[in-house]
Chain A
């Protein structure tokens, strides 16, 4: 894949060089069944790389993987529009998918693919399929807090007893759905009030990696984030040095949000058939098993595959009755964060 840069420059007439991304004309016939396909992925790269290798081995379709952070990738695809070299877009959170879907950049996912995962975790319009899931949690330092002190609801964290004890990373893409969720469950304005209270109570962190490390050190007593950050930290520092634990919010609470990663086929794909096969593969049993055993600590979404990790069983998660579509495209929460002075 890697081309010699020097060689490329030596060629001189740079305009003759085509993109490595392979957005060129289809070589696999009208259906484009043979690929190669280009996958833009904002997902955990190591897991994605495993999935890609397995897919290539099973189908013989070559996959070019472009991993980056989800926001940059989504912005990139927004600029590319119908000229995108991407065949498949994989995102960590629904808002990125919703943004691109609104621009009409996705092709509908095959019905057979959508059927593999619970409908509530897919796009209601059938444009993208949920692949894996994460639960919002409260990570807390076991030296600082006792289990009895932990709140049942997300809203409770706005209370005075949490002053100076709560950390959060408002710029993380995991945090935004919580804002949409609060308004959807408790009415408009709830989130705005809660954000103000949280800002007064809490400490702002740049990302969840920094937040979970701070919680584990005891720098802050508790932090709002997705569950897997804690597991990854435990892997890195070892169980002996893990002085924190996870707390799940009560059933149906906004804090019990289950967030999904999803994937879609680009409408502009010249290898649509191969791209659909990739989507189908992501929710197939072998792929879901890879997710179930991966170091990304996410829940597989396809029915019949259970996580092999020591996570709280997926069936025991009790998310509120909100559809992924209600989470919006991220612009609403962004504005609320700006208005609250957090951005």
Chain B
């Protein structure tokens, strides 16, 4: 028998004495102290860049801040940024839901292949896809161009969770609705769509935050936003203070987004009620609509995958500078894999307490901690990078220009991806099973590891996969924080692309896309498991 049998029965039932024996805990309510502490630690890590941003802004005089914030250009940046965030997020939601519905609920031929093709755009770095677009359509610029490029790059953030929910929901719900006399379309509108609210909002939030921070694509497409402006301030004025002022505007915008998402989410919780294995859904026969659906999906894949990939192929074939030592590709690949794996592992571990707090203990503390970790996602990599430079120089000098600091920065940047991936599966697991495990003699950590944790595999895989992909393609933070001499695929690509040696740059981008196959597989497995 495990520990409990050792509890001596002779202990008097008198008021407890002063000595605190093992296994005794102080009084508590709500979330366990250890978990709360872990969550607060993660939130503090996420706040690091914001804290250093504020420190930097303190050096700006009020009149200078006024001049910076109320010059004519700011209006344009604000319109551009907000307009694009709104339009692109909504379009991503429409495209993501439509594509997921076609793949999950219709008799689409080759569903599995479509699934892979529709997820893969996540594996293409934003600077590669916008570069591909600009090479093919040099006239592409401004709002329209930015909208097109961001929608085809980011819709998978909605597509994936929506596909998982469509696969996992009880078909009986829609059948009941049909039985009540609703047409197929109205049943979708009134029963299916409300169930998609949470995954759409979660994906939409990630996209919106991402768009606030996006630099590479908008720079290529000559579409100025706050993020591109921040880069320019650093680049031309070497002026951290004025860039920090603009960065704080992004922080405020991200807070507004986070509040709006909470409001839109409402009190909704669409956990599956009742047990039993999921029946597969009856698929809609496409009939004459098949051509339209196939055409639409093909167009989407061509836009999202075809354009950037063929640009890569074109430059490999056409470029005269593709004379590179293969060893440098190999070395950069190994380094990139190491960083991506480390970032995926660390970020997932950090995401676990936050996701647990926000799903299981939905108090103000849990929600506050979760929301805090989302804020840095709205900041461009250069802002996070420079803040981490300041932080380590001031408070952790031993970490400066080490791999550890770089991995921490990746974790700060990509935590929301891992948290959102964990939320869904976690909500499906009843905390009762941990109670049972505790009553069977397991301590809290072992109880979690042996019951809930194994059930989160798919969510952990999906979160780690997303972090892995994002780390592989991260550039600006990497340039600032990497140990001197370290080269990743992204920094190599940048080196060559920035000197117009596209032929030499292309193989690095190709490898980046190639090694993203595994994480993409993990993401698809998450959808599979939702239906199992």
Cα–Cα, bound, A303→B502 (Å)? 34
Cα–Cα, bound, A233→B502 (Å): 10
Looking at the assembled complex, report how far the CB atom of A79 sits from the nearest CB atom of chain B, in whole angstroms: 5
Top-6 shortest CB links A-B: A20-B483, A71-B235, A1-B485, A334-B237, A14-B404, A5-B338
- Verify if A193 is at the interface (C-beta below 8 Å from B): no
Inter-chain contacts of B495 with A (CB < 8 A): 45-46, 67
Tell me which residues across on chain A come within 8 A of B485, comparing CB atoms.
1-2, 20, 64-66
List of A residues within 8 angstroms of B483 by Cβ: 1-3, 19-21
Q: How far is the CA of A71 from the CA of B498 in the complex (A)?
A: 14
Check A9 against B346 for contact (C-beta < 8 Å).
yes
Question: Can you show 15 pairs from A to B with CB atoms below 8 A apart?
Answer: A2-B334, A2-B483, A4-B338, A6-B342, A9-B342, A20-B485, A38-B484, A64-B484, A70-B235, A72-B476, A79-B393, A95-B238, A209-B498, A217-B138, A236-B321
Query: How many whole Å from B321's CB to the nearest CB in chain A?
Result: 6
Contact A99 B342 (CB under 8 A): no
A219 at the interface (CB under 8 A from B): yes
Interface string of A205-241 (1 = CB under 8 A from B): 1110110011001010000000001001101111000
Which residues 8-30 of A have a CB within 8 angstroms of B? 8-9, 14-23
Do A209 and B390 have beta carbons less than 8 Å apart? no
B27 within 8 A of A: no
- Per the bound structure, the CA–CA distance linking A9 and B403 in Å amounts to 8
How far apart are the CA atoms of A214 and B139 in the complex, in Å?
Answer: 9
The reply to whether B238 and A330 form a contact with Cβ atoms under 8 Å apart is yes
Per-residue CB contact flags for chain B residues 130-154 toward chain A (1 = under 8 Å, else 0) read: 0000100011000000000000000
Q: Compute how far the CA of A78 lies from the CA of B402 in the bound complex, rounded to whole angstroms.
A: 19
With A78-B240, A331-B237, A343-B232 already in contact, the answer to whether A9 and B386 are too (CB < 8 A) is no
In this complex, the interface size class of chain A, counting residues with CB under 8 Å from chain B, is 35 or more
* CB <8 Å contact, B479 and A15: no
Which residues of chain B are near A9, meaning CB under 8 Å?
342, 345-346, 403-404, 407
B402 touches A79 (CB 8 A): no
The verdict on B320 contacting chain A, using a C-beta distance below 8 Å, is: yes
Asked if A341 and B393 sit within 8 Å, CB to CB, the answer is: no
- A331 touching B502 by the CB < 8 A rule? no
Complex Cα distance, B396 from A297, in Å, reads 42
Q: Are B222 and A205 in contact (CB under 8 A)?
A: yes
Q: Is A68 an interface residue (CB 8 A)?
A: yes
| Further pairs besides A21-B483, A69-B498, A72-B385: 18, Cβ < 8 Å | A2-B335, A5-B339, A8-B403, A9-B346, A17-B399, A18-B402, A68-B479, A69-B479, A79-B240, A79-B389, A83-B397, A205-B222, A209-B498, A210-B222, A214-B138, A330-B238, A337-B236, A343-B232
B contact residues vs A (CB 8 Å cutoff): 68, 71-73, 134, 138-139, 219-220, 222, 228-229, 231-240, 318-321, 331, 334-335, 338-339, 341-342, 345-346, 382, 385-386, 389-390, 393, 396-404, 407, 476, 479-480, 483-487, 495, 498-503
Cross-chain contact of A334 among B239, B339, B404 (Cβ < 8 A): B239
Would B480 and A17 count as touching, CB distance under 8 A? no
**Known contacts A72-B476, A214-B138, A236 near B236 by CB under 8 Å:** no
Please tell me which one of the listed residues A21, A333, A339 contacts residue B400 in the complex, with CB atoms under 8 A apart.
A21
Q: Does A247 contact B (CB under 8 A)?
A: no
Determine if B479 and A17 form an interchain contact, defined as CB atoms under 8 angstroms apart.
no
Interface string of A323-336 (1 = CB under 8 A from B): 00000011101110
Q: Of B73, B237, B389, B403, which contacts A76 at CB under 8 A?
A: B389
Residue in contact with A2 in the complex, picked from B386, B401, B486, CB distance below 8 Å: B486
- On chain B, the residues within 8 Å of A53 by CB distance are none
With A15-B399, A341-B72 as contacts: A75 and B139 at CB distance below 8 Å: no
Q: Are A71 and B222 in contact (CB under 8 A)?
A: no
Could you tell me if B382 and A20 are in contact, using CB atoms closer than 8 angstroms? Answer: no
Interface hits, A42-79 → B, CB 8 Å: 44-46, 64-72, 74-76, 78-79
Task: Check if A198 is an interface residue, CB within 8 A of chain B.
Answer: no
- Distance between B64 CB and nearest chain A CB, rounded to angstroms: 10
A153 sits at the interface (CB 8 A): no
- The CA-CA distance from A4 to B476 in the complex, in Å, is 21
Residues in B neighbouring A8, C-beta threshold 8 A:
402-404
* Cα(A14)–Cα(B229), bound, Å: 35
Find out whether the CB atom of B234 lies under 8 angstroms from the CB atom of A71.
Answer: yes
How distant is A63 from chain B, measured CB to nearest CB, in Å?
10
What is the predominant secondary structure among interface residues of chain A facing chain B? helix
- The residue among A66, A95, A341 with the most chain B CB atoms within 10 A of its own CB is A66
Does A75 contact B386, Cβ atoms closer than 8 Å? yes
Within the complex, the shortest CB–CB distance from B336 to chain A, in Å, comes to: 10
**Contact indicator per residue, chain A 242-283, by CB within 8 Å of chain B (1) or not (0):** 000000000000000000000000000000000000000000
Q: Are A21 and B484 in contact (CB under 8 A)?
A: yes
Interface residue from A2, A69, A206, A331 paired with B222 (Cβ < 8 Å): A206
A14, A78, A214 — most chain B CB neighbours (10 Å): A14
Of all chain A residues, the one with the shortest Cβ separation from B68 is: A338
A68 to B482, CA, bound (A): 11
Given contacts A5-B407, A219-B138, contact A204 B222 (CB under 8 A): yes
In the assembled complex, how far is the CB of residue B412 from the closest CB belonging to chain A, in whole angstroms?
15
Q: A1 contacts B486, CB within 8 Å?
A: yes
CB of A144 closer than 8 Å to a CB of B: no
* Distance between Cα atoms of A308 and B394 in the complex (Å): 47
Task: Say how far A335's CB is from chain B's closest CB, in angstroms.
Answer: 8
Is B393 a contact of A14 with CB atoms below 8 Å?
Answer: no
Whether the Cβ atoms of B237 and A219 lie closer than 8 Å is no
Find out whether the CB atom of B389 lies under 8 angstroms from the CB atom of A15.
no
**Of the candidates A6, A14, A342, which one forms a contact with B402 in the assembled complex, judged by CB atoms under 8 Å apart?**
A14
Are A20 and B401 CB-contacts (below 8 A) given A5-B342, A9-B342, A64-B485? yes
- Of residues B229, B401, B495, B503, which shows the largest number of chain A Cβ atoms within 10 Å of its Cβ? B401
Contacting residues, chain A, for B228 (C-beta < 8 A):
206
Q: Please give, as numbers and ranges, the residues of chain A lying within 8 Å of B234 by CB-CB distance.
A: 71-72, 75
Q: Which residue of B lies closest to A207 (CB)?
A: B219
**Known contacts A68-B479, A235-B321; A3 and B401 CB within 8 A of each other:** no
State A246–B238 Cα separation when bound (angstroms): 31
Nearest B residue to A209, CB-CB: B500
Q: B138 near A68 (CB under 8 angstroms)? A: no
Q: Which residues of A contact B401 (CB under 8 A)?
A: 19-21, 85
Please, which residues of chain A bring their CB within 8 A of the CB of B386? 72, 75-76, 79
* A17 in contact with B402 (CB, 8 Å): yes
Interface centre among B219, B334, B338, B341, by most A CB within 10 Å?
A: B338
- Expressed in whole angstroms, the minimum distance between the Cβ of B386 and any Cβ of chain A is 6
Which residues of A have CB within 8 Å of B139?
219
Nearest CB of B to A69, in Å: 7
Nearest chain B residue, comparing its CB with the CB of A16: B398
